[in-house]
Structure 1
Amino acid sequence: MLDEDGYFGKEIAAGYDDSAADMFRPEAVGPVVDVLAGLAGDGRALELGIGTGRIALPLARRGVPVHGIDLSRAMVDRLRAKEGGADIGVTIGDFATTRVEGEFSVAYLVFNTIMNLTSQDAQVECFRNVARHLGPGGCFVVEVMVPELRKLPPGQNAVPFHIGETKWAFDTYDLATQAMSSHYVTVVDGRAEHWSIPFRYAWPAELDLMARLAGLRLRDRWEDWARTPFTGDSPRHVSVWEKPAG
């Protein structure tokens, strides 16, 4: 059952940092912050889905003023409890439509968070919302997976991504609607617990069209934050769309 925090309530928020521990490692965070700080320059950064501050906190420590939007008060409470977290402004709301004051040099959505918007309309509205927040020459950065449909043989709709003795995780796909869900099964004291969260996947070309509808144009696309060239075999992409200066 969902509450006001959506799919990231108190129980999920309490274990979020541990469950995504690899993404909190300095070697994972550093390149992200380097790119975003470079794009922000002397301006401000807007993080959509700020969560517990994995990127916002180190970016702020680099001297970039950061403001966040997040639906989950439970996740933001975790951010607030961290050193420097109380100094970051956060607006509670749906990042597809929530407006905040001021103008930003860069806005960003990382770690597949664009897929938390589970309809094409919501994803389109997100791009439009970001464009309204960006100043001329500002950039919108999205990090997201490339759908793993090549791993699906005919008649199968599930792709496992973690297999362990007491934990399993897999994604299910609906190719007709581009809906997908991530499922997590954990065995505790011989009893299985299941948790799932819905997503909507989108191809890079589809995201480019959303950007064009919002008045943004593609500036860069890489496989990762180290600017590895994006190819047909890349499992994810980091895309940068720019708001024209004129």
Structure 2
Amino acid sequence: MTQTSEAAFASIDQLAYAGMYGDQTAPVYDLMYPSGPNDEECADFVAGLLPAGASVLELGVGTGRLAVPLVDKGFRVHGVDASQGMLAKLAERDPEGRVGVTHATFTDYRLDERFDLVLGSFNALCLLQSSDDQVAALRNARAHLAPGGRVVLETFEPAKFHSQQQTEMNTYPLGPNSVVIESMKTVRALQLIFLTTSIFDESSKPEVAVTFLRYIWPGELDQMAARAGLRLVERFAGWKRQAVDDGAAVYVSVFEADDQA
């Protein structure tokens, strides 16, 4: 990146840039990724770590598919998201406003409250496109932990994507006259997945949303967490506390503050 392009990038409204993909995909997000057993398992996992009435900060709260069930379980939940479109969908799901919300990036939010658990599910940390930003997000999460609090992160196993040679395509039929086509292309040197989501609906013009995901190897995540003042407590191959083995597709990692850091 040249100095000119770096200056131009620095002048961009970073919050608006971060939220752009979510704004474009918010109308169809819950149709592409409907609520299912994985969401229930995540909520149960969180409930297994916390006493009744504890506080949860969710990074990438999105449409509230996890936040609302957690409130229903008796937890106090606050969500952070860079997308106003996603937060609008959350408001539809939660008309009483039981979930507190902050419109911000994972590195920029500053809240007065400290939380018993900070949750980043569904690869939320991977939405940040550099290791420096990912470490900054982890530092911010640690800064918002109450004494004895935990940070819980879900990340995908990157080996499949790191070895990818061709663009991978997924199709999501949303109804008789609408479809979403998602393509993923890996840029291995940067550990980035170039994600393009094309939305076709006969009632509107086609829309194309583009973003990057930076995948994280488990050992790398532990090193970044250490830089942020966190240490690994336990890791599983899913929300049902499956043991980690060579066949793991996702990782659920639990961290706590390292008082020696």
What are structure 1's unaligned runs of at least 5 residues? none
User: Is the partner of 1:128 in helix, strand or coil?
Assistant: helix
Partner of 1:90: 101
The alpha carbon displacement at 1:102 in A equals 1.2
The alpha carbon displacement at 1:186 in A equals 5.4
Identity %: 32
Q: Distance in 2 between matches of 1:242 and 1:98?
A: 20
The aligned amino acid for 1:31 is E
Q: Answer yes or no: is the 8 Å Cα contact 2:162–2:188 preserved in 1.
A: no
Match of 1:28 among 38, 42, 58: 38
Partner of 1:39: 49
The alpha carbon displacement at 1:192 in A equals 7.4
The alpha carbon displacement at 1:238 in A equals 0.8
Tell me, yes or no, if structure 1 residue 108 matches structure 2 residue 119.
Answer: yes
Partner of 1:198: 212
User: Is the partner of 2:21 in helix, strand or coil?
Assistant: coil
Partner of 1:128: 139
Q: Deviations over 1:157-208 (max 9, x none)?
A: 43344588x654332111111121122345666x976433211111111110
Partner of 2:87: 76
Partner of 1:212: 226
Structure 1 residues 168-177 or 137-146, which shifts more?
A: 168-177
User: Is the partner of 1:209 in helix, strand or coil?
Assistant: helix
Q: Deviations over 1:125-155 (max 9, x none)?
A: 0110011011222111111111114653xxx
Q: Answer yes or no: is the 8 Å Cα contact 2:32–2:172 preserved in 1.
A: no
Q: Distance in 2 between matches of 1:50 and 1:98?
A: 13
What are structure 2's unaligned runs of at least 5 residues? 1-12, 174-178
Q: Answer yes or no: is the 8 Å Cα contact 2:194–2:211 preserved in 1.
A: yes
The alpha carbon displacement at 1:124 in A equals 0.4
Distance 1:229 1:162, change over 3 A: farther
Q: Answer yes or no: is the 8 Å Cα contact 1:136–1:244 preserved in 2.
A: no
Q: Answer yes or no: is the 8 Å Cα contact 1:29–1:55 preserved in 2.
A: yes
Tell me, yes or no, if structure 1 residue 159 matches structure 2 residue 168.
Answer: yes
Q: Answer yes or no: is the 8 Å Cα contact 1:69–1:92 preserved in 2.
A: yes
Q: How many residue pairs align between the two structures?
A: 237
Partner of 2:10: none
Partner of 2:76: 65
TM-score by length of 2: 0.82
Q: Distance in 1 between matches of 2:79 and 2:98?
A: 11
The aligned amino acid for 1:78 is K
Partner of 2:25: 12
TM-score by length of 1: 0.86
